[in-house]
Amino acid sequence: PEAAAGGVRHPGPGGAARPAAVSSLRSVRLYATLETFSNDAAGFYADIIAGARAGLERFGLQPDVVGLDTGGGGGGLRAAFAAHRAARPTDGVLALALDDAGLLADLAQSPAVLLNGADAAMGVDAVAPENLRGAALATAYLISLGHRR
């Protein structure tokens, strides 16, 4: 391993350096609700999952993708997540558009990143699109090409 700012880096496949925050991970699981998968007609979430997989695979990690069934058994999303995580522990969690406040509090206690969401308490790192800026840039670009409608 080579020394790096913020910790030790371990090589991934092809010699790619693993950031220190990733170096201790042996398993990563991406969680979403079954509703997220079933309502993804345009493939928006499929693209996010593919991007997360590709990023992790660069460092030799093969993430599991889990759809949480929140419909049965009571307790909702937080209970479904806790039951699955207890049965199948993992070192790191990617949570896709999971916005349950109790679940976010649980995630803040472990290595976790929220994808396409935000944690108002700022306890969980989050990656989300900047929709307003993206729309403004796209609109300005179309206007610069002469589009008026």
Per the DSSP assignment, residues forming a β-bridge with 33 are 68
Q: Give which of 109, 17, 15 is closest to 6, Cα–Cα.
A: 17
**What was the pLDDT predicted at 20?**
62
- Is 72 exposed, middle or buried, given 0-12, 13-18 or 19+ CB atoms closer than 10 A? exposed
pLDDT of 125 higher than 70:
yes
How far is the CA of 55 from the CAs of 48, 64, 99, in angstroms? 11, 13, 23
* Maximal C-alpha separation, the chain: 57
Find the mean pLDDT for residues 127-137.
82
Find the mean pLDDT for residues 94-111.
83
pLDDT of 57 higher than 70:
yes
Model confidence pLDDT, tens digit, residues 12-46: 444 456 566 666 778 888 888 888 878 776 688 88
In this prediction the pTM is 0.68
**What was the pLDDT predicted at 127?**
80
Long-range contacts (CB closer than 8 Å, 24 or more residues apart) made by 44-50: 45/96, 45/97, 45/116, 48/96, 48/115, 48/116, 49/96
**What was the pLDDT predicted at 16?**
55
In three-state secondary structure terms, 76 is helix
Long-range contacts (CB closer than 8 Å, 24 or more residues apart) made by 90-94: 90/27, 90/28, 90/29, 90/64, 91/24, 91/25, 91/26, 91/27, 91/28, 92/25, 92/27, 92/28, 92/29, 93/28, 93/29, 93/30, 93/31, 94/28, 94/29, 94/30, 94/31, 94/52, 94/63
